[in-house]
Amino acid sequence: MKELTKAEEQVMQLLWTLKKAFVKDLIEQMPEPKPAYNTVSTIVRILEKKGFVGYEAFGKTHRYFPLMSKKEYTRKYMRNFMKGYFSNSFKEMVSFFAREDNMSIAELEELMREVGEDLENKKNIGDE
């Protein structure tokens, strides 16, 4: 999977929020100083070539929309991230962040509870 640059991710975050947008709509949502129209237009066209964005034509202008959901991108990105940095081990990744972020016992317990609930839900779905 092709990963997004920081600028591409910023545009995708806006598209995931707005669902559909013209370049001018994206620029309006960006913080100051606002980028040039041509800059955002170029980023959107790159996203289109990478397969992240589709469009509807209205004369000479286009309204863009995401072809990949934020959840789907996050899942693929995190898989690549785990593979590249943590030997494809979720356990190693969680352990790393628990150590590096100095998670409290309460935070670790909350994480374990959430993982346990997710496992239980998957088990129940498999039993159906």
Residue of 100, 93, 86 lying closest to 115 (CA atoms): 93
Residues in the chain: 128
| Segment 84-110, tens digit of pLDDT | 888 888 888 888 877 887 778 888 888
Residue 16 burial class via C-beta count within 10 angstroms: exposed 0-12, middle 13-18, buried 19 and up: middle
Judge contact between 24 and 61, C-beta under 8 A: no
Lowest mean pLDDT among 3-17, 46-60, 109-123: 109-123
Which is more confident, 82 or 126?
82
- Confidence category of residue 16, pLDDT binned at 50, 70, 90: very high
Which is more confident, 23 or 116?
23
pLDDT at 30: 95
What is the spatial distance between Cα 111 and Cα 103, in angstroms, rounded to a whole number? 10
pLDDT at 58: 93
**Residue 72, phi-psi category: left (phi > 0), alpha (psi -120 to 50), beta (remainder):** alpha
CA separation, residue 80 to residues 62, 74, 84, 86 (Å): 32, 10, 6, 10
Residue 78 has pLDDT above 90, yes or no: no
pLDDT at 57: 95
pLDDT at 127: 65
pTM for the model stands at: 0.74
| Segment 30-64, tens digit of pLDDT | 999 999 999 999 999 999 999 999 999 999 999 99
